[in-house]
């Protein structure tokens, strides 16, 4: 009986679905988080009678045939890179990208990573870094005697230094875009790395055509819609329950057969 195995694949698929949804809900308040969606495909089919095969020596054709499906399998867990809402903060070094692009981060081992989380801070040396202390590229250092920092839409960092009437440009953020953002590999810590699927990063200036502009004093919240996630969770739970009932029905059918005399 194929019923037990088919229903088991359905239960495992919905378990994965719930795990993806639970991760979305868990990161509801994670800055720059992008929700994911589980996608599935049907498994191979057993063709007992092939469609289009000849059913007689008179060249009659079977119109539909008999093809029995063997269940479902996970196909992908796709990341949805839609814009999250911008949340105002009181930190001058919090910046949000309003549009496409990723901030470029230099890791301690020299590798490059990318993030949408713009909750930046200053290192002891005055360099703009992430909450983990990773340097935001390019290396932008704010002088010690700076009383205020302004960051415009194009990512220019303007430092108002004591004793000077005009602000000093101490650097400019750069952003990267990818042909296939869904192909980026999540590293954790709000970081992504490029892969052959994502394509190479295309560096540019914030606010230019094809690149999002920068909003100082804001952070991008997670693009998780809690109502949608709860609805999807209920749907996945119901599908899991229905598959478990199919397992019970298959077991009862087998029990009926074994009790025949």
Per-residue pLDDT reduced to its tens digit, 157-183:
999 998 888 899 999 999 999 999 999
Would you place residue 261 in the very low, low, confident or very high pLDDT band (cuts 50, 70, 90)?
low
pLDDT tens, residue by residue, 181-220: 999 999 999 999 999 999 999 999 999 988 999 999 999 9
pLDDT tens, residue by residue, 3-35: 899 999 999 999 999 999 999 999 999 999 999
d(CA 251, CA 53): 35
Evaluate whether 185 touches 79 at the Cβ level (below 8 Å).
no
Domains of the chain by residue range: 3-81+224-258, 86-220
Give the C-alpha distances (Å, rounded to integers) separating 74 from 6, 126, 175: 14, 47, 33
Listing DSSP states for 166-224 in one string gives S-EEEEE--EEE-S-GGGPEEEETTEEE--TTT---EEE-TTSTTSPEEEETEEEPP--
Contacts for 253 with CB less than 8 Å, ≥ 6 apart: 1, 3
Q: Can the peptide bond before residue 138 be classed as cis, meaning omega within 30 degrees of 0?
A: yes
pTM of the model: 0.85
pLDDT tens, residue by residue, 63-98: 878 888 899 999 999 999 889 999 999 899 999 999
User: How many Cβ atoms sit within 10 Å of the Cβ of residue 211?
Assistant: 22
């Amino acid at each position: 009986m194929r019923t037990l195995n088919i229903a088991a694949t359905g239960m495992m698929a919905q378990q994965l679905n719930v795990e993806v949804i639970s991760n979305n809900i868990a990161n509801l308040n994670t800055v720059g988080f992008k929700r994911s969606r589980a996608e599935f495909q049907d498994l191979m089919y057993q063709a007992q009678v092939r469609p289009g095969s000849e059913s007689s020596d008179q060249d009659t054709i079977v119109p539909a045939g008999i093809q029995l499906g063997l269940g479902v399998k996970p196909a992908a867990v796709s990341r949805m890179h839609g814009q999250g809402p911008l949340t105002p903060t009181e930190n001058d070094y919090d910046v949000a990208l309003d549009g496409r692009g990723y901030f470029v981060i230099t890791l301690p081992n020299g590798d490059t990573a990318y993030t949408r989380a713009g909750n930046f801070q200053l290192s002891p040396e005055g360099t703009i870094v992430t909450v983990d202390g990773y340097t935001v590229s390019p290396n932008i250092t704010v002088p010690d005697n700076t009383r205020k920092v302004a960051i415009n839409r194009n990512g220019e960092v303007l430092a108002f230094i004591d004793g000077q009437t005009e602000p000093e440009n101490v650097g400019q953020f750069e952003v990267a875009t990818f042909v296939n953002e869904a192909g980026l590999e999540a590293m954790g810590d709000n970081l992504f790395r490029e892969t052959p699927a994502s394509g190479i990063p295309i560096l540019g200036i914030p606010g230019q055509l094809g690149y999002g502009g920068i909003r100082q004093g804001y952070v991008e919240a997670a693009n998780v819609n809690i109502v949608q996630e709860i609805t999807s969770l209920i749907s996945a739970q119901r599908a899991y329950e229905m598959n478990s009932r199919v397992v019970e029905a298959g077991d009862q059918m087998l029990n009926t057969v074994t009790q025949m005399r």
